[in-house]
Structures are given as C-alpha cells and as structure tokens.
Amino acid sequence: MTSMRDRPADEPLWDSLTVILTGFCESLRDGMPLLRRLKAQSPAFAQSAQNFGEQFFSDLRSWVASRTTGPDGSAGAAGSDELTATLQLNIAVAATLTAYETWPADESFDGFVRRLERCLRQTGPGTAES
C-alpha cells in the first residue's frame, strides 16, 4: 500500500489522494470481497462493520490537514488551502464509497478497482483550485 508519508510534498493533493485511496483499497484485495459478502448476509454484521477503515480515514484527514498550511501560515506544500483540501478529501472519499456501493456482486475485485479509478477520474477535475 502506498503510504501517505511516501507522497512527494509538492505533489498536487488530488493526485496524492488518488494514489493513497487506490492503494488502500488494493491492500484489501483479499479481504474486501469476503467482508462485502458477510455484510450482505448479515445486517447485524453490516452494522458492526460500519467503522471499518475508521483509523485509516482519520489518519488521512490528519495528513491532509498537515499539507494545507505551511510553517508561515501560507498555503501548504501542495498549494492547497484548508477549504479546497477538505473539499478534495471529502470528494475523494465519496468517490471511493460510490465505487464500493455500486460494485455489482458478480463483478471481480479488479472490476471494483476500475470502478474506483473511474469515480476518482471523473470527480478530480471538479476540485481544481481556482
């Protein structure tokens, strides 16, 4: 999995988010299909699994926040202000959830990854700084 710490400081935030979220999902290649089947079979399990990935997303939110403000209070290394960075993060997470929620039961994990990449590609340009 591509670590947040491995991303270049000057890389555009959206590019970093795309690599990080895709890498996170790829790291779940063996477990995500099983987790999905279990959630479909058991509403109780589905409810208890709601917090899956919570630590990752909390860490991701902290990492994004650390990139929004430079030491002198100016825009961070990636050139994002807090509003734009938070918007990009929320949209990237929503794109990831959309790919997961629309992933057909009979589609392979590779199909899910293609769906995720499509969602991220379609939403990315709308978050460019103006």
Read off the pLDDT of residues 69-120 as tens digits, 9 standing for 90 and up: 655 555 555 556 888 889 999 999 999 999 998 999 889 999 999 999 999 9
* Count of CB atoms situated within 10 Å of the CB of 86: 15
Instruction: State the pLDDT confidence band at 7, using cuts at 50, 70 and 90.
Output: very high
Domain that holds residue 31: 12-127
Given a contact cutoff of 8 angstroms between Cβ atoms, the answer to whether 89 and 124 are in contact is no
Burial degree of 30 (CB within 10 A; 0-12, 13-18, 19+) = exposed
Query: How much is the mean pLDDT over the chain?
Result: 82
pTM of the model: 0.79
pLDDT of residue 75: 52
At 20, is the secondary structure helix, strand, or coil? helix
Q: How many domains does the chain have?
A: 1
Q: Give dist(CA 54, CA 49) in Å, integer.
A: 10
Whether residue 7 is contained in a domain is answered as no
Whether residue 56 is contained in a domain is answered as yes
Instruction: State the pLDDT confidence band at 18, using cuts at 50, 70 and 90.
Output: very high
Q: Extract the tokens encoding 75.
A: 């825009």
pLDDT of residue 52: 64
Residues 6+ apart with CB under 8 A from 96: 21, 25, 116, 119, 120
Whether residue 5 is contained in a domain is answered as no
pLDDT of residue 122: 92
Whether residue 60 is contained in a domain is answered as yes
Whether residue 4 is contained in a domain is answered as no
Q: Give dist(CA 84, CA 103) in Å, integer.
A: 28
- Residues 23-62: tens digit of each pLDDT: 999 988 888 877 777 777 777 765 555 566 788 888 999 9
